[in-house]
Amino acid sequence: MALEEMILDSRHLGSPEKLIVYTPKRYSPLYSYPVLYVQDGDDYLAMGRMATLLDKLIDDKELPDLLAVFLPVDKAKRQIRYHPDGQEHMAYRRFLAEEVVSYIDTHYSTHPLGNGRTLLGESLGGVVSLFTALSYPHTFGQVACQSIAMDAELNQRVADTAFSVPQSFYLEVGTEETAVQSARGMLDLVAANEELCAILQKKMATLVYETFEGDHTWGHWQANLPRMLRTLYG
């Protein structure tokens, strides 16, 4: 595996933004690869141990060779970038869909179609992944959310969105996530995820919905990554 760090000067965000790109051992520009775009990139690398996991699953032939782009976020800016009402949210969406994808497609050998691009995030990172994919359905064909921090109002926005092209959604939530503390107060993520599932089932969407025994913590998300990645790419 190789992890390469780079700085992208974002015109949409008006700031230098770090990307960490994972390439598999057998990476060759002669082939094209699907790309996984990961919110909370530092956390998925450190607590999710995701680079090591990708190596193992690819070595064991449980996953195809793929690229992963880890997008670190300054924790002080997480709410304003990831929540749809945040001041930098629209700019962050544009940064992701226009600047990051364009950079990766230019500098690496990637599948050029939307079904070759997946957005992944946990909690609020799942929210920004979902809403970015809904805004750019031709760019991102697949979304995976671990314990997505939805509420009734955000679910209504999804219900009000016209789905113009087929997309695939993977959602998972812990059975103990009925009272999760957030900047918006206490959230019942089990109820919110079930409501989101019902909405997506009525849309032009392919849906996988999983539950796990546990709460809103990294130990569970990390443990569930193999199942999720096999479902996305198996």
234 residues of the chain, pLDDT tens digit each: 699 999 999 999 999 999 999 999 999 999 999 999 999 999 999 999 999 999 999 999 999 999 999 999 999 999 999 999 999 999 999 999 999 999 999 999 999 887 899 999 999 999 999 999 999 999 999 999 999 999 999 999 999 999 989 999 999 999 999 999 988 889 999 999 999 999 999 998 999 999 999 999 999 999 999 999 999 998
Q: Give, for 22, the enclosing helix (H) or strand (E).
A: strand 15-23
User: 68 near 36, Cβ under 8 Å?
Assistant: yes
Report how many domains make up the chain.
Answer: 1
The runs of H, that is alpha helices, within 99-178 are 101-107, 124-135, 152-159
Task: Tell me which DSSP letter residue 40 carries.
Answer: S
Q: Give, for 171, the enclosing helix (H) or strand (E).
A: strand 167-174
Closest CA to 123 of 201, 186, 180: 180
Which domain range does residue 97 map to? Answer: 2-233
Place of tokens 């209504």: 156
Residues facing residue 207 across a β-bridge: 169
Question: pTM for the whole thing?
Answer: 0.97
CATH of the domain at 83: 3.40.50.1820
**Which sign does the torsion angle of CA 43, 47, 52, 55 carry?**
negative
| Cβ neighbour number for residue 190 with a 10 Å cutoff | 18
**Six-digit token string for 14:** 């008006």
For residue 230, the one-letter residue type is R
Q: Give, for 228, the enclosing helix (H) or strand (E).
A: helix 218-233
Residue 23 sits at φ, ψ, to 5 deg, of: -120, 140
Task: Tell me which DSSP letter residue 31 carries.
Answer: S
